[in-house]
Chains A and B, each alone.
Chain A
């Protein structure tokens, strides 16, 4: 029988009050753990998964919006780039891979984002050292589709499933006539790819309604290549030729525009281009980024930087605020424990007197009260820690379904390692005054009370 056993017995004697005070600490710790787990998942999602490519090229605008739309599919695209620009990027000697993305539509069921791309997208690593694993066949037909693991799970789709897509976004009711067939399902990647439906880029262009009026395309090309007369001239030639061809064949020129899958490259657009440069020359990405932005209506963004800015700025501050808030909850709970133990001291005066009469020294009764405080605080903290991670385990599938955020419920944040020593310190702090009361108890008075 040691001081902790005696303290534990004392806790059991006032089990309801003890449970409630420990619970308050536990709730504080549980909230903190949840905040850390969620922000850990957000942090991991936004800082690690986007680095499969060195640059993302898109129209000029918000770099954050470009990254969020192209990599995380969380924002609408800014605008489009001419397909000819993709060719230009691909020909650059510094570029080893340039993958086009065209998006803006969603699935009719589940409103999952649609991305038109090429097979190269699946050949590249989506994260350093992480390659796609695909169950099914490669895209070959125009309206073939590859779906992410979460899309398959949530919509109950598998290879062979057929589906429709909505033009524009979930709020639109404009369902395209084309039916797409799932030819492959991606294994879970823990990225936005899990919640994405990939179409053949040519198929994407072939969807009725994706065509733009030729005059609008011409205007956009003139704006884009304003400073590059050579490329503008090439694009205009293609348009002129196509305009002549279309005017001779009404099938190819429906009212208001031209079917783009038969169209020249000048008629096509991409929403973003994912670029990988040569790994042996890391400055390529920087020089390419600086160079591309001269004269063209495009920007090249390092996918990590805007996200880091977001994380350290807005999200980082929110996380700090929540951690501080939960720390205050823990502190207040600590005060609750102090009040509970301190109030119990009057009732326990005789108990302390008896122990002193049995030979307990002042240091013994001091230690017993402190041990009681430590057991309540640390017990509550351990329970709260388990509850926090337990809740994360229980809700992880739901969170993944709702947000696509891959939660590792047992991931440990460095703060969690600090948490227990801090709670231990808190226990000493809140237990000190009651322990001193026990220490100073007059034995003869306590026994005669």
Chain B
């Protein structure tokens, strides 16, 4: 799997009129199995970038190429399918659904992929992240660290080729921070999954061989008055 972003422009319309340029990326690339930490300040467009890569948002212009397919040119329904099948997402706030048990949360990740739900694999993933004894627990009954581990297992449920992690350790206590980080990196390595982790923490980014800074390749000023150039 390779990810290539070219000439990406993204602006948001503002309530008072006009537009706010957020992304202006000429080129950004990740190769298969690579693990990248993306450093950036809050409001710097990190989450927007992840949303564009996952197909949740479309750029105003530019190309998002994954395995030689341009995501930005796909219809929404295809992007949804692509996201379900190819991309795993770990959120800063875990985003587990409280109505579902740990196991069901992981299986939920499989439910929309069109490949069916593999209960045994979901169980295996939870065992892999050390939650084999917590399968039927509701997220409310799990500690913060355990919740994030469930979120990691869910992100890997569809055997994605790319894992996007948005500040996954921001809400985790320092003791669990390293555990979660190690878990994500090791799991990605084990499954040969590319990893793009967004963080504002130098300490977290320091664990990665490749560290990119948003301000080095993102130039929102490339967007003029909200119009892509």
State A348–B98 Cα separation when bound (angstroms). Answer: 11
Q: Among A9, A360, A361, which residue has its beta carbon within 8 angstroms of that of B100?
A: A9
Whether B111 pairs with A2 at a CB distance below 8 angstroms is: yes
Whether A358 pairs with B108 at a CB distance below 8 angstroms is: yes
Whether B81 pairs with A361 at a CB distance below 8 angstroms is: yes
Question: Is B76 interfacial (CB-CB < 8 Å)?
Answer: yes
Question: Is A12 interfacial (CB-CB < 8 Å)?
Answer: yes
Q: Report B-chain residues with C-beta under 8 Å of the C-beta of A1.
A: 104, 107-108, 110-111, 117
State A360–B111 Cα separation when bound (angstroms). Answer: 8
User: Residues 199-215 of chain A: 1 if any B CB is under 8 Å from the residue's CB, otherwise 0?
Assistant: 00000000000000000
Whether B111 pairs with A357 at a CB distance below 8 angstroms is: no
Q: Report A-chain residues with C-beta under 8 Å of the C-beta of B107.
A: 1
Question: Is A188 interfacial (CB-CB < 8 Å)?
Answer: no
Q: Report A-chain residues with C-beta under 8 Å of the C-beta of B57.
A: 444
Whether B99 pairs with A359 at a CB distance below 8 angstroms is: no
Whether B81 pairs with A447 at a CB distance below 8 angstroms is: no
B45 to chain A, nearest CB (A): 12
Q: Report A-chain residues with C-beta under 8 Å of the C-beta of B48.
A: 444
Whether A362 pairs with B76 at a CB distance below 8 angstroms is: yes
A392 to chain B, nearest CB (A): 36
Q: Report A-chain residues with C-beta under 8 Å of the C-beta of B158.
A: 359
Whether B97 pairs with A354 at a CB distance below 8 angstroms is: yes
Q: Report A-chain residues with C-beta under 8 Å of the C-beta of B21.
A: none
Q: A1-B117, A10-B99, A351-B97 are known contacts. Are A359 and B83 too (CB-CB below 8 A)?
A: yes
State A357–B80 Cα separation when bound (angstroms). Answer: 8
Question: Is A20 interfacial (CB-CB < 8 Å)?
Answer: no
Question: Is A356 interfacial (CB-CB < 8 Å)?
Answer: yes
State A117–B111 Cα separation when bound (angstroms). Answer: 76
Query: Which A residues between 351 and 403 are near B, CB-CB below 8 angstroms?
Result: 351, 354-364
How many A-B contacts are there with CB distance less than 8 Å?
A: 73
User: Residues 36-52 of chain B: 1 if any A CB is under 8 Å from the residue's CB, otherwise 0?
Assistant: 00000000000110010
Question: Is A443 interfacial (CB-CB < 8 Å)?
Answer: yes
Whether A356 pairs with B97 at a CB distance below 8 angstroms is: no
Question: Is A448 interfacial (CB-CB < 8 Å)?
Answer: yes
Query: Which B residues between 15 and 70 are near A, CB-CB below 8 angstroms?
Result: 47-48, 51, 54, 56-57
State A361–B109 Cα separation when bound (angstroms). Answer: 13
Whether A447 pairs with B95 at a CB distance below 8 angstroms is: yes
State A361–B76 Cα separation when bound (angstroms). Answer: 8
Whether B91 pairs with A359 at a CB distance below 8 angstroms is: no
Q: A444-B56, A447-B91 are known contacts. Are A359 and B98 too (CB-CB below 8 A)?
A: no
B72 to chain A, nearest CB (A): 15
Total interface residues in chain B, CB < 8 Å: 31
Closest to A12 in B: B99
Closest to A359 in B: B84
Whether A358 pairs with B84 at a CB distance below 8 angstroms is: yes
Q: Report B-chain residues with C-beta under 8 Å of the C-beta of A6.
A: 108, 111
User: Residues 438-449 of chain A: 1 if any B CB is under 8 Å from the residue's CB, otherwise 0?
Assistant: 000001100110
Question: Is B120 interfacial (CB-CB < 8 Å)?
Answer: no
State A364–B113 Cα separation when bound (angstroms). Answer: 11
Whether B110 pairs with A357 at a CB distance below 8 angstroms is: no
Q: Among B76, B97, B112, which residue has its beta carbon within 8 angstroms of that of A359?
A: B112
Question: Is B154 interfacial (CB-CB < 8 Å)?
Answer: yes
State A362–B117 Cα separation when bound (angstroms). Answer: 20
A367 to chain B, nearest CB (A): 11
Q: Report A-chain residues with C-beta under 8 Å of the C-beta of B91.
A: 354, 357, 447
Q: Report B-chain residues with C-beta under 8 Å of the C-beta of A362.
A: 76-77, 80
Question: Is A229 interfacial (CB-CB < 8 Å)?
Answer: no
Whether B51 pairs with A358 at a CB distance below 8 angstroms is: no
Whether B113 pairs with A357 at a CB distance below 8 angstroms is: no
Question: Is A88 interfacial (CB-CB < 8 Å)?
Answer: no
Q: Report B-chain residues with C-beta under 8 Å of the C-beta of A13.
A: 98-99
Whether A358 pairs with B112 at a CB distance below 8 angstroms is: yes
B67 to chain A, nearest CB (A): 17
Query: Which B residues between 105 and 162 are near A, CB-CB below 8 angstroms?
Result: 107-113, 117, 154, 158
Q: Among B54, B85, B98, which residue has its beta carbon within 8 angstroms of that of A357?
A: B54
State A360–B84 Cα separation when bound (angstroms). Answer: 7
Question: Is B71 interfacial (CB-CB < 8 Å)?
Answer: no
B128 to chain A, nearest CB (A): 19
Whether A357 pairs with B100 at a CB distance below 8 angstroms is: no
State A366–B158 Cα separation when bound (angstroms). Answer: 22
A343 to chain B, nearest CB (A): 17
Question: Is B89 interfacial (CB-CB < 8 Å)?
Answer: yes
Closest to B52 in A: A444
State A2–B114 Cα separation when bound (angstroms). Answer: 11
Instruction: List, sorted by A's number, 14 A–B pairs whose CB atoms are closer than 8 Å.
Output: A9-B97, A350-B95, A354-B97, A357-B91, A358-B83, A358-B89, A358-B109, A361-B112, A443-B51, A443-B56, A444-B48, A444-B51, A444-B57, A448-B47
* Additional A-B contact list (10), CB under 8 Å, known A350-B95, A360-B84, A361-B77: A9-B99, A351-B97, A357-B56, A357-B89, A358-B84, A358-B108, A358-B112, A359-B83, A359-B113, A447-B95
Instruction: List the 9 closest A-B pairs by CB distance, nearest first.
Output: A359-B84, A13-B99, A359-B112, A9-B99, A361-B80, A360-B112, A354-B95, A1-B111, A359-B83
A binding-site residues for B, Cβ under 8 Å: 1-2, 6, 9-10, 12-13, 350-351, 354-364, 443-444, 447-448
